[in-house]
Amino acid sequence: MSTAHKVAKNTVIMMVGNLAFRLLSLAVVIYLARYLSVEDFGRYNFVFAYLGFFNIITDFGLGDITVREMSRNSNSMQNITGNVHIIKIFLSIIAAFLSVSMISLIGYPPTTTLYVYAASIILFFQSFSDTFKAIFVTSLKMQYEILSKIISKIVFVGLVLYIIAFKGTLYHIILAFIFFEFLRALLNYTFSRKIVRAKFEIDFSMWKNLFKESIPIALSGVFLVIYHRIDILMLSMMIKGLEADIAVGLYSAAYKLSEPLGLISTSLVVSLYPLMSKSFKGSKSDLFKTYEIGLKYTVILMLPIAVGTTLIADKIILLIYDSSYEGSITALQILIWSLFLASINLLLISSLTSINKQRLNTLSMGVCVVANIVLNMILIPSFSYNGASIATVITELILLLMSLYFVSVNLDVPPVKAVSFKPLVSCLIMGIPVYYMNNFTTINVFFTVLFGVAFYLMALLGTNTFSKDEKEIIKYVLSFNVIYKKMRFLKE
The pLDDT value given to residue 17: 67
The pLDDT value given to residue 9: 61
> Average model confidence (pLDDT) for the chain?
79
Please, how many CA atoms are within 13 Å of residue 69, restricted to the half-sphere of its CB? 23
- Is residue 424 classed as helix, strand or coil in its secondary structure? helix
pTM of the model: 0.66
DSSP state, residue 259: G
Ranges of the chain with pLDDT below 70: 1-15, 17-19, 61, 63-64, 69, 71-75, 139-140, 213-214, 216-218, 220-222, 224-225, 227-229, 240-242, 260, 263, 267, 270-271, 273-275, 277-284, 412-418, 468-492
Domains contained in the chain, number = 1
Do the beta carbons of residue 341 and residue 299 sit within 8 Å?
Answer: no
384: left (phi over 0), alpha (psi -120 to 50) or beta: left
Contact residues for 397 (Cβ-Cβ < 8 A; gap 6+): 341
Euclidean distance between CA atoms 169 and 44, whole angstroms: 11
Write 312-315 long-range contacts (CB < 8 A, 24+).
312/434, 312/438, 312/445, 312/448, 312/449, 314/438, 315/438, 315/445, 315/448
User: What pLDDT, in 10s, does the model give residues 425-481?
Assistant: 999 999 999 999 988 888 888 899 999 999 998 998 888 887 766 666 566 545 544
Length of the chain: 492
Euclidean distance between CA atoms 237 and 101, whole angstroms: 19
Euclidean distance between CA atoms 329 and 62, whole angstroms: 37
Question: Which residue from 80, 215, 86, 176 is spatially nearest to 134, judged by alpha carbons?
Answer: 80
Query: Which structural domain range is residue 476 located in?
Result: 3-491
CA distances from 106 to 24, 377, 416 (A): 34, 19, 43
User: What pLDDT, in 10s, does the model give residues 286-330?
Assistant: 777 777 788 888 889 899 999 999 999 999 888 888 777 888 899
Count of CB atoms within 10 A of residue 487's CB?
A: 11
The pLDDT value given to residue 55: 76
